[in-house]
Amino acid sequence: MPDTKEKLTFTYGTVYEGETTNGEPNGKGKMTFAGGMVYESDFIDGNPNSIGKFTWVNGDVYEGGIADGKFQGKGIRYGKAI
């Protein structure tokens, strides 16, 4: 069970904002990678695990299952409208 909400900055500029346990992403949160990609949903023991949303810098979006940080199960990826 998450114990607090924090903003954490990791190596190479990745930033996590959301629920944590013992200083590690755990619960609902948003991770913004240094390159600008964003993942929003649930984290378990520091890894994305849930139905979530991943947005690439170019605007493409994946919404669906993620397990241990990898796309898994059902999901959809769509591109940014031009």
| % the chain with pLDDT above 70 | 94
- What pLDDT is stored for residue 81 in this prediction? 59
Q: Is the pTM of this model over 0.85?
A: no
Tell me if 27 sits within 8 A of 18, measured CB to CB. Answer: yes
Amino acid sitting at position 43: F
Tell me if 19 sits within 8 A of 1, measured CB to CB. Answer: no
Banded pLDDT at 55 (limits 50, 70, 90): very high
- CB atoms under 10 Å from CB of 25, counted, come to 25
Question: pLDDT digits over 19-53, tens only?
Answer: 999 989 999 999 999 999 999 999 998 888 888 99
Domain boundaries, the chain: 4-78
- What pLDDT is stored for residue 48 in this prediction? 85
Question: pLDDT digits over 11-21, tens only?
Answer: 889 999 999 99
Torsion angle in degrees (nearest 10) through CA of 64, 68, 72, 77: 40
